[in-house]
Amino acid sequence: MEAQSMRFLNLLGNKFFSAVLSWLMGQRVRDTLCATKAFFRKDRDAILSIKDELGPIDPFGDFELLFGAARLNLKIAELPVRYRPRTYGTTKISRFRDGWLLLKMCLRVLRRFKLP
């Protein structure tokens, strides 16, 4: 990650959600909020068919895909991503509003899949 490529609170949030999702899914995931995801078509279709179990909270779709893959017992592999400072435009992410929605989704997954 290059200097100035991610705000400090975003970095902390990313690390927090990586730890929480890794625990919830039973698989180590280091960068849960990276927008790049790749699936085989058959797996993507299966994931999309069960995403309604989670409800429409995820503002970006990343958690739905990761939780769906874990729910189907798919192995999640990660490839390195290079973060660089933004050269144009502004972010559309609200750290607190969107972070709250992601936390609510984690709590929903905890209640539905982890707790008896």
pLDDT, tens digit, for every residue of 87-116?
A: 666 766 777 787 888 888 888 888 877 765
The answer to whether residues 109 and 67 touch, using CB atoms and an 8 Å cutoff, is: yes
User: Any long-range contacts for 33-39 (C-beta under 8 Å, 24+ apart)?
Assistant: 33/60, 33/62, 34/62, 34/81, 35/60, 35/62, 36/81, 37/62, 37/65, 37/66, 39/65, 39/69
Q: What is the pLDDT of residue 2?
A: 52
